[in-house]
Structure 1
Amino acid sequence: MIVVIFQYSQRLRADMFKRKIYAALKRWKDESAGSTAMMIEGARRVGKSTIAETFARNEYRSHVLIDWQKAPQAVKDSFLNNMDDLDALFMDLSVYYGVRLYERETLFIFDEVQLFPFARSAVKHLVADGRYDFMETGSLISIKRNVDDILIPSEEESVSMFPLDFEEFLWAKGEELLAEAVRHSFDSRRALSPLLDNKAERLFREYMLVGGMPQAVERYLDTADMGKADRAKRQILRLYTQDIEKYGGSDKERVRRIFDEIPSQLSKHEKKFTLADLGENARGREYRDAFFWLDESYLVNRCVNATDPHVGLSLHSEDSSMKCYMGDTGLLVTHVFADRTYTSNELYRDVLFGKLEVNEGMLVENVVAQQLRASGHRLFFYSRYSRQAEDRMEIDFLLVGEYENAAMKARICPVEVKSTKRYKTVSLDKFKAKFDKRIGTQYVLHPRPMRVDGDRLYLPLYMAHCL
């Protein structure tokens, strides 16, 4: 009985995590009014099913959850046979799942819809019927085998879901006031007090090691043991490896090589992915589909080189030069220690307090990439090699933002990430000098308090999610 209660409390706690995506779903419901379906995309175990169910319970009178991983063939047959008789389909689903349906007050959730692509193509007819709302969740939904022979409905909106960012991690820990203080500090350009700065920095380092996968966060909050959170992350990494084997198709070996190579690639100074490390004869065209698979699965966050930094960054991107970050930094930490069968709480504590030699620059840049991606940014960097030292530069990330000193017109916002308190900004200085008229606010993310220097803003790392 004790075990049952404990499992229930864990499930309840995970359901209660406050997620930013909820507001996007609420806007969809209010503005769409049933005219479109909503697809939630994201990596496996990122919380898609949980947020869909939570939203359904809170915002609708009733809901029907169809998990296509478990749905019997009879349910699939009802879809296949009743597209011309939706009354019969809705009757089948209502009675089979034991849920009374209410016009405009019932939500159907198609969970893991990529496992039954016909249901996704049927959304066009279901939405046109107008009686109920429809939400889908999916992983790998753009992989060829999951879109073959189906018409993707134009009535489908989509939103991406990522692991918890640092602000959501603070909410999960009950630190809402600190989260508000961090956000207010960023908006007002006034540094937090030393007391709050130290607390936010400590919790950010915790977050960097635990990561934002809901299962790992839940385990850590329940036990305060990073070793037990590590077990949850190892289970997720095993699931991802199984997905690669199961769904990677003819590219699965290449996908696996890239995935296994990520920690090594990120440990390099420039962190650009070098294909030659995968094999002497590795070529970009051979690995293009493998990188696409990892990108579409949300297992990685790709960052491509914008060779001519204008506001339209994608117009000048060079896919052959890229960095490949793990989608979750907590998973990266566990991936780094993959040679061990278990990573203890004590080892995590040694990393946390700097007693163990770990490439902190790798973790810091990865966690910043994770925050930027969760905030809706596509990832670009700038790299220029030249024999002339004055022309050689590397900018970690490029964002586009409104610039106050240019009548709020869009400008390039370079972002430099520093993992130590002592550093130089040589590349940023060169970049500003070379592209001055295109540049807006410059950001330096570092393990120090905030300070403002003209149009350059030095931010503590724990404010990365504010950008």
Structure 2
Amino acid sequence: MKRKLYNALIDWKNDPDRKPLVLEGARQVGKTWLLKEFGKNEFKNLVYVNCHDDERMQNLFQQDLHVERIMQALQAFSGQPIITGKTLIFIDEIQEAYRGLDSLKYFCENARDQHIVVAGSLLGVTHRPGESYPVGKVDFLYLYPMTFEEFLWAKGEEKLAEMIANCDWEMMGILDTKIQELLRQYYYVGGMPEAVLDYTTHGDVNKIRKIQKAILKTYDNDFAKHTGNETERIRLVWKSIPAQLAKENKKFIYGAVKPGGRARDLESAIQWLIDAKLAFKVHRCNKPTMPLSFYEDFNAFKLFTLDIGLLGAMANAPASLMLTSNDVFKEFKGAFSENYVFEQLRTFDDLSIYYFSKENSTQEIDFLVQTDERIIPIEVKAEENLRSKSLRGFIVEDYPNEHFKGLRCSMKPYIDQGWMENIPLYSVLGYINKQINKELGE
């Protein structure tokens, strides 16, 4: 399957100033497959070792961190030669090896020409006494579940994906019914590669839910394995996310996790989910002025899941609802659509993402995003009623001197109303990408 991050890996390979690469991402988002494909396609040979359940690898870095000794051991373990400039060393599940990450500092300092990548599913939550992170000595890339664009590629709809990426509004209007059907499929299947591969190969919707439930079970096992006394609190927060997003006001409410729930009781559980890349926080912004980070409200936030398909599995949303009716776009008060839009937005590395709401008011702007040149207020509309009272009030009445131009994502075709553009939900990735490229002069 084609992944967009592949191009970033090639850029890393060809960068003369590259450092050892750490590829982060939640469990089962496709890190191992992608790096193996990269190694096979772009190098003469691949040295692959996995630290999970391999005592040799787990002990490899304990004796010392001498690069020459480590590379000799890697050659012995893999049966592959290591040739500088022609070999990719890939150490998988690096968090299982004590001081494995520490060793990257010495690869950076003493073997800079050697291409080495590591991956791990719980790098943000696995810490041992005596270990340190090689700050400034590694490059980072992050792999998310597949976007809607990547889902279209997997479905063999490359031309359609290109049309959407180019914001060809006229052709999208002509093919709208087909694209909506594909978007419904994406809402159900999501972007976990195993689910996407099985769906595009066999099309068995019941099997997809089994795959998603198995992934969720794996995450639950991680809670039990790595979190000790926090396990039950983490489970409660994790299971509460669908209901939190189903509320009209999607702000995270501690009391909705359990009666009497308070921030001090649940903060560490929420942070574990964020560090494990299973959940993502979007904070409230108090004032829509650049830079938005200056006006971040750390006490108010929304919590999104890593994948819309897993969100549906957590909510036990039936296939009949997700695949055969436009009701999917409005059920749960737009929970799916807002999580979907966030998933597409988060793929931009330098995009600041917040939401806006007034104190003692129902007015809320679903997302405020900041590019280099502008703040874009975004409203996500999953229903046919497209009155944008909050968005219009925000732009026209509350902040007229800011000259904002709003963005409404709905299932209606493109229209420019001057103060706001309406775009189809499925085009949000292409629209923001085009805006960023325009600012860069590309």
Q: 1:64 maps to what in 2?
A: 47
Shift of 1:456: 1.7
> In the alignment, is residue 436 of structure 1 matched against residue 419 of structure 2?
no
Shift of 1:216: 0.7
Q: 2:417 maps to what in 1?
A: 453
Q: 2:179 maps to what in 1?
A: 200
Q: 2:435 maps to what in 1?
A: none
Secondary structure of the structure 2 residue equivalent to 1:164: coil
Matches of 1:77 and 1:361, distance apart in 2: 49
The Cα offsets for residues 10-41 of structure 1, whole Å up to 9 and x where unpaired, read as: xxxxxxx11111111111221245x4111111
TM-score by length of 2: 0.91
TM-score by length of 1: 0.86
Q: 2:383 aligns with which of 420, 423, 426?
A: 420
| Counterparts of residues 20-419 of structure 1 (less than 5 Å) | 20-33=4-17, 35-71=18-54, 73-84=55-66, 86-130=67-111, 131-143=113-125, 145-146=126-127, 148-153=129-134, 154-185=136-167, 190-337=169-316, 346=320, 348-350=322-324, 352=325, 354=327, 358-359=331-332, 361-376=334-349, 377-386=351-360, 392-402=362-372, 410-419=373-382
Matches of 1:253 and 1:439, distance apart in 2: 47
Shift in alpha-carbon separation, 1:371–1:246, aligned structure 2, 3 A? same
Secondary structure of the structure 2 residue equivalent to 1:79: coil
Matches of 1:137 and 1:280, distance apart in 2: 39
Shift in alpha-carbon separation, 1:311–1:147, aligned structure 2, 3 A? farther
**Residue type matched to 2:293 in 1?**
S
Q: Which moved more, 1:352-361 or 1:155-164?
A: 352-361
Shift in alpha-carbon separation, 1:78–1:291, aligned structure 2, 3 A? closer
Secondary structure of the structure 1 residue equivalent to 2:146: coil
Shift of 1:436: 3.2
Matches of 1:411 and 1:278, distance apart in 2: 36
Q: 1:407 maps to what in 2?
A: none
Matches of 1:271 and 1:77, distance apart in 2: 46
Matches of 1:30 and 1:271, distance apart in 2: 43
Shift of 1:147: 5.5
**Residue type matched to 1:114 in 2?**
Q
Percent of paired sites with the same residue: 29
Unaligned ranges ≥5, structure 2 = 433-442
Secondary structure of the structure 1 residue equivalent to 2:379: strand
Q: Report if aligned partners of 1:108, 1:133 keep a CA contact under 8 Å in 2.
A: yes
Q: Report if aligned partners of 2:412, 2:424 keep a CA contact under 8 Å in 1.
A: yes
Q: 1:6 maps to what in 2?
A: none
Q: Which moved more, 1:44-53 or 1:127-136?
A: 127-136
Shift of 1:278: 2.3
Shift of 1:455: 4.5
Matches of 1:312 and 1:29, distance apart in 2: 33
Q: Report if aligned partners of 1:191, 1:451 keep a CA contact under 8 Å in 2.
A: no
Q: Report if aligned partners of 2:306, 2:343 keep a CA contact under 8 Å in 1.
A: yes
Matches of 1:23 and 1:358, distance apart in 2: 36
Secondary structure of the structure 2 residue equivalent to 1:398: strand
**Residue type matched to 1:132 in 2?**
Q
Shift of 1:324: 1.0
The Cα offsets for residues 189-221 of structure 1, whole Å up to 9 and x where unpaired, read as: x43354312211211111111100001111111
Count of paired positions: 427
Q: Which moved more, 1:125-134 or 1:297-306?
A: 125-134
Unaligned ranges ≥5, structure 1 = 1-16, 403-409
Matches of 1:117 and 1:436, distance apart in 2: 56
Q: Report if aligned partners of 1:117, 1:146 keep a CA contact under 8 Å in 2.
A: no
Q: Report if aligned partners of 2:51, 2:57 keep a CA contact under 8 Å in 1.
A: no
Shift in alpha-carbon separation, 1:116–1:193, aligned structure 2, 3 A? closer
Q: 1:19 maps to what in 2?
A: 3
Matches of 1:374 and 1:356, distance apart in 2: 22
Secondary structure of the structure 2 residue equivalent to 1:416: strand
